[in-house]
Amino acid sequence: MAALCRDCGADPGEGPVCPACGSRRIVRHAELFTLHIAHVDCDAFYASVEKRDRPELAARPVIVGGGVRGVVTAACYVARIYGVRSAMPMFKALQACPDAVVIRPDFSKYVEASHQVRALMGRLTPLVQPLSIDEAVLDLAGTAALHGAPPAVVLARFAREVEAQVGVTVSIGLARNRLMAKIAAGRDKPRGFCVIGAEAREILAPEPVRLLPGVGPKLANRLQAQGITRLAHLQGLDEREARRRLGDDGPALVRRARGEDDRRVNPERETKSISAETTFDVDLSRAEELERPLWRLAEKLAGRLKKEDFCAGGVVLKLKTSAFAIRTRAQRLASPTRLPDLLFEAARGLLARETDGTAYRLIGIGAAPLLPGHLADQPDLADPEAPRRVAAQAAIDALRSKFGAAVIGKGRGLK
């Protein structure tokens, strides 16, 4: 069976220890040298970057997150032993792990590290599709001649380069398609290298349905109601049955449960959503109190849409109650926009229906669907005031680009 020493790249033969370097980090798989779709995930990325910069914290539990009321953005593997998870409220995390060192996130540092990692990926193949700041999928098909080695060998070398040059570790999944590569990358974290080939279906069978990306708690509950808890249950459904029991998306779900996925690696990553949110220092429940931060977020969202040349075909309002229940409410817009006023008005309409006395700890506003920028704020025959609003916003933008964001604003943004 094909084998590879992850520490020196040599062929370790049959034994448990690499004869060339003495390492035990050996990966073996029948398809090791033919698979070429790889998923790369940086391990506890933000926390790892912080530990890299403060080596004295290496053995301590580190949590990256912010504010009195913030949430855990990232937790190192030491903190995870105590049960700390990302997106957990900070107070809970500190209950679980009182000794944790809490570090405010410094995104500029993470972005820089991410760029370094991405630059190293770029040397492996042009087909790199970043999925987030610390995750990407790569297609190394046909690169063996260039590198003089099969993808697995090149990837193991890449993992060593990232450790040496960026100072963080990565986990790699190598498989026949994107779905299985992602699942593989998650199976051997941290510093992992997991290969899944023909046995994908077998591996998935005993797993809970939640393992599949895209199966969240709601869908899982729906499936459970039908007696479907393990992927094996889905694997056995034929197309017609899948459609009948699970609706139009059923057959696609069954294909994924079998480990099938025909998505290509597309280096032109599409931005799927743009949003802005904020957590309050104290819970808010009154419409007037919530509208002030909402307006500022609408302005922020409008700025991001403009910067990335998109516009909003609809607005999504996100609220988190003091009991941590998340409410999202969405509305299509009559015509696509990136004017803060119109984004705010739509979100305010959605908010009005949710201000029923519930106390909220977080509010957010997002653009969905995201549409190309040239569709924004087309002239509207039913709105004779529209050209003036567009002109006013252009004037505000011009002043801000010259004198800074604080130079001018609407009264409703003031505290």
Partner 1 sequence: MKFKADRATLLKALAHVQSVVEKRNTIPILANVMITVRDGKLTLTATDMEIAVVEDVAASTTRNGACTAPAATLYEIVRKLPEGAEVELDHPGGDAQLALRSGRYATSLVALPTEDFPSMTAGTLPNRFALPAQALRGLIDRTRFAISTEETRYYLNGIYLHAADSDGVRVLRAVATDGHRLARVEEPLPEGAGSMPGVIVPRKTVNELRKLLDEVTGDVDIALSDTRIQFKVGTITLTSKLIDGTFPEYERVIPRDNDKVLRVGKKDFSDAVARVAAISSERSRPVKLSLARDLLVLSAASAEQGSATEELDADRVKYDSSPLEIGFQARYLNDITDQIAEQVEFRFADGAAPTVVQDAADSSALYVLMPMRV
Q: Where does this chain touch partner 1 (CB under 8 A) — which range of 42-50, 148-156, 292-300, 373-381?
A: 373-381
Angle between helix axes 107-122 and 45-53 (nearest 10 degrees) is: 100
Helix (H, G, I), strand (E, B) or coil at 354: coil
What CA–CA distances, in Å, run from 170 to 144, 164, 269?
Answer: 22, 12, 21
To the nearest whole angstrom, how small is the minimum distance from the Cβ of residue 379 to partner 1?
6
Binders in 78-97 for partner 1, by CB under 8 A:
none
Q: According to the binding rule CB under 8 A, does residue 383 interact with partner 1?
A: yes
Q: Among 329, 323, 320, 379, which residue's Cα sits nearest to residue 351?
A: 329
Cis peptide, bond prior to residue 19, ω within 30 of zero: no
- Name residue, tokens 């800074």: 404
Min. distance of Cβ 45 from partner 1 in angstroms?
36
Interacting stretch for partner 1, rule CB under 8 A, among 22-30, 161-169, 251-259, 376-384? 376-384
| Per CB under 8 A, 145 contacts partner 1 | no
- Please say which residue, 309 or 380, places its beta carbon nearer to partner 1: 380
Determine the Cα–Cα distance for residues 180 and 253; give it in Å rounded to an integer.
14
Query: Bridge-partner residues for 136, per DSSP?
Result: 40, 130
Q: Which residue has the tokens 């990306």?
A: 213
Which entry of 50, 135, 291, 299 is annotated as an active-site residue? Answer: 135
Q: Cα separation of 64 and 110, whole Å?
A: 11
Does the footprint of partner 1 cover residue 335 (CB under 8 A)? yes
Q: Is 334 in the site for partner 1 (CB under 8 A)?
A: yes
Mark the binding-site residues, compressed into ranges. Answer: 41, 134
CA distance 80 to 138: 28
In this chain, which stretch among 96-104, 106-114, 307-315, 370-378 interacts with partner 1, using CB under 8 A? 370-378
Residue 345 falls in the annotated catalytic set? no
Of residues 106 and 345, the one with the C-beta less far from partner 1: 345
Report if residue 374 touches partner 1, rule: CB under 8 A: yes
Residue 336 CB, nearest distance to partner 1 (Å)?
Answer: 12
Closest CA relative to residue 359, chosen from 325, 311, 406? 325
Q: Which stretch binds partner 1 (CB under 8 A): 26-34, 190-198, 310-318, 380-388?
A: 380-388
Q: Which is nearer to partner 1, 44 or 376 (CB)?
A: 376
- DSSP per residue over 341-363, as a string? HHHHHHHHHHHHTT-SS--EEEE
Residues identified as active-site: 135
Give the binding site for partner 1 (CB under 8 A): 334-335, 374-375, 378-384
